[in-house]
């Protein structure tokens, strides 16, 4: 039993047959990630139909998706800082490698080579601490 259903596995289970077959078929047509594909145009439309959000962008990893999301959020809100929960994992996004110890935000343990102290970019709260949130 996989007790660590991370990311996609948590949503669909591992390698559902229909997906594995579709991926194998697509791989034989080539994988190019700089130019869009005809399938990509259809998928954008289908995601729009299913989830009601007008515009979509494809990324290869959750980290990349988080980076795009943070940039868009900053642009919309015009707020420079983001908020994360203490010790949550959001991929390798620099701003998210922050923890809070005794009320002080700082680099998470193992955060190698941060461009700046994450206290400059990030606020951190404990999970379920509504007052802090």
Q: Smallest distance from the beta carbon of 24 to other proteins, in angstroms?
A: 15
Neighbours of 68 (CB within 10 A): 13
Out of 35, 76, 112, 130, the residue judged to bind other proteins by CB under 8 A: 35
Which residue, 42 or 87, has its beta carbon nearer to other proteins?
A: 42
Token digits of residue 113 = 């080579």
Are 62 and 70 a contacting pair, CB within 8 Å? Answer: no
d(CA 133, CA 124): 9
Which residue, 54 or 80, has its beta carbon nearer to other proteins?
A: 54
Nearest to 105 by CA among 119, 85, 89: 119
Q: Residue 38, interface with other proteins (CB under 8 A)?
A: yes
Q: Residue 8, interface with other proteins (CB under 8 A)?
A: no
Which residue, 13 or 40, has its beta carbon nearer to other proteins?
A: 40
Residues at the interface with other proteins (CB under 8 A):
29-38, 40-41, 44-45, 47-48, 54-59
């Amino acid at each position: 039993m996989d007790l660590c259903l991370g990311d996609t596995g948590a949503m669909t289970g591992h390698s559902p047959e229909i997906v594995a077959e579709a991926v194998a078929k697509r791989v034989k047509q080539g994988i190019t990630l700089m130019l869009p594909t005809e399938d990509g145009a259809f998928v954008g439309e289908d995601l729009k139909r299913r989830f009601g959000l007008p515009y979509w962008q494809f990324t290869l990893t959750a980290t990349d998706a988080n980076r795009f999301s943070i940039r868009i959020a900053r642009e919309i809100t015009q707020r420079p800082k983001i908020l994360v929960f203490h010790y949550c994992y959001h991929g390798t996004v620099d701003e998210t490698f922050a923890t809070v110890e005794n009320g002080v935000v700082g680099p998470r343990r193992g955060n190698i080579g941060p461009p700046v102290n994450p206290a400059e970019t990030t606020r951190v709260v404990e999970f379920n601490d509504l007052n802090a949130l």
